[in-house]
Amino acid sequence: MNLADSEIVGSILTKAGYALIRNIDEADFILINTCAIRDNAEQRIRKRLRELRALQRQRTWVKIGILGCMAERLKTQLMEEEENVSFIVGPDAYRQLPDMLHHVNDGERMAETLLSDTETYADIEPIRYDTNGITAYISIMRGCQNYCAYCVVPYTRGRERSRNPETIVNEARSLFEKGFREVTLLGQNVNSYRWHDPAGDVGFPQLMAMVAQVNPLLRVRFATSHPKDLSDELLQVMADYDNICKCIHLPVQSGSERILKLMNRRYTPEWYLDRINAIRRYLPTCSITTDVIAGFCTETEEDHQATLDMFRRVRYDYAYMFKFSMRPNTYAEKHLQDDIPDDVKTRRLEEIIALQGEIALENNQKEVGKTFEVLVEGVSHRSDQQLFGRNSQNKVIVFDRGDIQPGQYVNVRVTRCTAATLIGELAN
């Protein structure tokens, strides 16, 4: 999400005559895009700001700006706390950046943090920097109003709004023409994507079909889908198109019915497992990944065991696993207590990580001997004699390079694996 936003900011500022540079020692303005989802994300930014003081002592004219969710959450308070910050820009105010830089350059300190009900940056073609030239993100909606009890996003990114589908399809087409071969459609809850049109509304399944039709050689992925809204209609569209990747990220957060209720997730473990069964039915080869939080307010050992149980039943291919972090202004902060001691949170998280490690390895072992179509993304980090890419299930596959180029589709037969990677050889 943040990368997609940085690409929009890059585009706005480039059009205004600014240039992106590689070397921070040559910068006149430093813009830091931030996340506020957990406290440690914010602590990392504070540390970075302290480190940047040395650079500012050398280059006294350099101005630093904070963008994104941490800017939105703290507003001018952040400028009071961090003396070397000159400007603060919330996620819906990026269009004002060129004007702001002008004033900031004259010595003013400024904050623009108004949230919008309509801003989608639909007309802005993001600048793809730091790109492999093959995979790209397309933001299809902004904001969220699900108000999960632990989550700061509804407060930092405002109300949910969808972007005009035509501009999304055009962006996908333009990327394909530039050589890109995979797009990931992004939103906090893509299942509730909806564009109102007199000729007929466009929902997420229709949008997926429209993007898949851009070209059969363009792979389409999406993130994130909320379990409460994962429809059979979407699964059917995924089954209908070979180029829609068979991978669903379906954050579970907890396996306990009581905790899910307290989290305001609006589904039960039964409902969640029913959706998992539906995925298996429509898309037998689909991989499933998740997010989970250990140690939410009042979580008992029994609740924690229910989470481990959920992991054993679903057998996720990958999971993002977090310790609960109390965030200011959320429902949890106002009405619940952060009552699970840190060492208990850590132990529970470690138990989930260990279990998930075993499951991922066993899942990968089942792939040995199979042949997958792989979109080659680049040279492997380990050896320049090897390339890496992903299969439709989003699993990384490493193989000997031959005379294959990044951007090509190749068939790779898996010969061995680790919990994180499949290793294979070119088939055909």
Closest alpha carbon to 27 in 19, 35, 15, 37: 19
Q: Which of 151, 250, 279, 297 binds ligand SF4 (CB under 6 A)?
A: 151
Nearer to ligand SAH, 153 or 387 (CB): 153
Q: Which of 157, 219, 275, 327 binds ligand SAH (CB under 6 A)?
A: 327
- 147 contacts which partner out of ligand SF4, ligand SAH, none, CB within 5 to 8 A by kind? ligand SF4
Q: Which stretch binds ligand SF4 (CB under 6 A): 49-57, 60-68, 139-147, 241-249?
A: 139-147
Q: At 361, which helix (H) or strand (E)?
A: helix 342-365
Q: Residues 193, 140: contact at Cβ < 8 Å?
A: yes
- 291 contacts which partner out of ligand SAH, ligand SF4, none, CB within 5 to 8 A by kind? ligand SAH
Task: Verify binding: residue 144, ligand SF4, rule CB under 6 A.
Answer: yes
> What is the C-alpha to C-alpha distance for residues 48 and 372, in angstroms, rounded to an integer?
41
Task: Verify binding: residue 148, ligand SF4, rule CB under 6 A.
Answer: yes
Q: Which stretch binds ligand SF4 (CB under 6 A): 117-125, 133-141, 146-154, 175-183?
A: 146-154
> What is the C-alpha to C-alpha distance for residues 269 and 215, in angstroms, rounded to an integer?
38
> What is the C-alpha to C-alpha distance for residues 25 and 17, in angstroms, rounded to an integer?
20
Task: Mention every residue, 6+ apart, whose C-beta is less than 8 A from residue 249.
Answer: 223, 224, 225, 288, 289, 290, 291
Task: Mention every residue, 6+ apart, whose C-beta is less than 8 A from residue 284.
Answer: none
Q: Residues 226, 187: contact at Cβ < 8 Å?
A: no
If DSSP codes are grouped into helix, strand and coil, which group holds residue 235?
Answer: helix
Residues 39-58 contacting ligand SF4, CB under 6 A: none
3-state helix, strand, coil in the chain (%, to 5): 40, 20, 40
Q: For strand 219-223 and strand 182-186, is the pairing parallel, antiparallel, or unpaired?
A: parallel
Per-position x/- string for 29-68, each x denoting binding to ligand SAH as judged by CB under 6 A, each - no binding = --------xx------------------------------
Q: Which of 139, 156, 189, 256 binds ligand SF4 (CB under 6 A)?
A: 189
Residues 215-254 contacting ligand SF4, CB under 6 A: 226
Task: Verify binding: residue 226, ligand SAH, rule CB under 6 A.
Answer: yes
Residues 188-217 contacting ligand SAH, CB under 6 A: 188-189
Q: How many residues does the chain have?
A: 428
- 154 contacts which partner out of ligand SF4, ligand SAH, none, CB within 5 to 8 A by kind? ligand SF4
Amino acid found at 130: D
Q: For strand 396-400 and strand 409-417, is the pairing parallel, antiparallel, or unpaired?
A: unpaired
Residues 282-311 contacting ligand SAH, CB under 6 A: 291, 293
Nearer to ligand SF4, 11 or 224 (CB): 224
Task: Verify binding: residue 412, ligand SF4, rule CB under 6 A.
Answer: no
- 38 contacts which partner out of ligand SAH, ligand SF4, none, CB within 5 to 8 A by kind? ligand SAH
Q: Rounded to whole angstroms, what are the CA distances from 387 to 6, 153, 409? A: 28, 37, 12
Handedness of CA 376, 381, 386, 390 (dihedral sign): negative
Residues in contact with ligand SF4, total (CB under 6 A)? 10
Q: Which stretch binds ligand SAH (CB under 6 A): 104-112, 124-132, 324-332, 376-384?
A: 324-332
Task: Verify binding: residue 188, ligand SF4, rule CB under 6 A.
Answer: yes
The residues that touch ligand SAH, with contacts defined as CB under 6 A, are 37-38, 150-151, 188-189, 224, 226, 251, 253, 291, 293, 322, 324-325, 327
The residues that touch ligand SF4, with contacts defined as CB under 6 A, are 144, 146-148, 151, 153-154, 188-189, 226
